[in-house]
Amino acid sequence: MNVSSIGVSTPITRLHGSMAEKIAKGPQDVSTAASDTVEISDAARYLGELKKLPDVREEKVAAAKQLIAAGVYETPHRLDVTISRLMEDLA
């Protein structure tokens, strides 16, 4: 029986040797390192501003409640507009 190929670690030694050289050189100069940049589009900025707004505009709700309480909110024109918009949403 011939077992002559035991102990062949030359490629591992070379890889380990090149890694040792990199470690010995120390850290790279940071001025030559690559950097990432991020660009935010105008649409993304706009959406970010919209997210800051409240879901319910309390001043509009309060004004509508006052008009309803006074009996002047439900006009034929407003009802027509509301029905038209509802029909568009359902279509």
Tell me the per-residue pLDDT of 4-13, one tens digit each, with 9 for 90 and over: 666 555 555 5
Q: What is the pLDDT of residues 16-40, one digit of tens each?
A: 556 667 766 766 665 666 778 888 8
pTM above 0.75, yes or no: no
pLDDT attached to residue 25: 72
Residue 74 lies in a domain: yes
* Token representation of residue 71: 């009996």
Residue 72 lies in a domain: yes
Residue 46 lies in a domain: no
Q: Is residue 44 over pLDDT 80? A: yes
Do 73 and 67 meet the contact criterion of CB atoms below 8 Å apart?
Answer: yes
Q: 34 or 14, which is more confident?
A: 34
C-alpha span between 82 and 74 (Å, rounded): 10
Residue 68 lies in a domain: yes
Residue 71 lies in a domain: yes
Q: Rg of the chain's alpha carbons, rounded to an integer?
A: 36
- Domain, as residue range, for 73: 55-90
Residue 16 lies in a domain: no
